[in-house]
Amino acid sequence: MPPAAPSVARSREGGGRRTAAAARLPRSVRRTLPRPLALCLGLCLASAAATTLPDFSFSHTLRLLTFSFVPGFASGFVAEDITVMSAFNLLHLVTKSQPVALRACGLPSGSCRDKKNCKVVFSQQELRKRLTPLQYHVTQEKGTESAFEGEFTHHKDPGIYKCVVCGTPLFKSETKFDSGSGWPSFHDVISSEAIEFTDDFSYGMHRVETSCSQCGAHLGHIFDDGPRPTGKRYCINSASLSFTPTDSSEAEGGGGRESSSPASADRAEL
């Protein structure tokens, strides 16, 4: 007699279909998570990933939901199998959903990543006094502000965005766009020498970190999903930036230095 198909087994009680993996599970395990509860659990996991992981955009959340739940419902799996499959898919996609195709973005020679080669150096005491706690955490400890809560996320005034630590001009307002990620996004920099790129393997994924080339302050990350003409998305923390309106700049092109202190003393904490 040929062996029975291992993939699907017919349930005698309900007549429904169960996978072989589910059939082998104890009855108490198979009945712990109904399908609505499994879906709610997956939605909560995806929402948590979208709000806590750095640079995790709304498109990534949709990708999580699509690839986690649609295959399970379409094939008629039981709720318990969907829960197990969704958990593994969520963990996999959280760590693999942002591949970076950038090349030649390794740490350049003479980088001020360790603060020793920086052209502008500040003591920790001075920075803690001059910066807000959030600004210090983001720029000096490579922290990340909460999505959609930054001061410049929806900022549209014309002007120049500068490093909050040393005042180096970084981005023009003309290059800012709404990426839906929850952080200020730019498709180009004022000068290619203003920013340094470093491979970042935190959170189990490969990204490219951006930092100020003058003082080494952490800014954010760069991705290859930006608009034309560059195709780049500089995802930057608001806490890493200060803003100078166009009429306050010495040069409208953005090359001038900020006339006041690099970090505004009255800048409210984000």
Bridge partners of 211, per DSSP, are 196, 218
One-letter amino acid of 29: V
What is residue 1's three-state secondary structure?
coil
Query: d(Cα 90, Cα 88) in Å, to the nearest integer?
Result: 5
Phi, psi of 127 (to 5 degrees): -65, -40
Query: d(Cα 81, Cα 69) in Å, to the nearest integer?
Result: 11
DSSP-derived letter for residue 260 is: S
Of 189, 193, 220, the C-alpha closest to 207 is: 220
Of 53, 58, 87, the C-alpha closest to 200 is: 53
Query: d(Cα 270, Cα 264) in Å, to the nearest integer?
Result: 13
Of 265, 260, 206, 270, the C-alpha closest to 237 is: 270
Q: Is 235 a catalytic residue?
A: yes
Helices (H) and strands (E) in the chain, counts: 7, 11
Question: Among the options 112, 166, 212, 235, which is catalytic?
Answer: 235
On whether the CB atoms of residues 162 and 262 are closer than 8 A, the answer is: yes
Residue 148: CB atoms within 10 Å:
12
For the chain, the straight-line distance linking the first and the last C-alpha, in angstroms and rounded, comes to: 71
What residues are labeled active site? 235
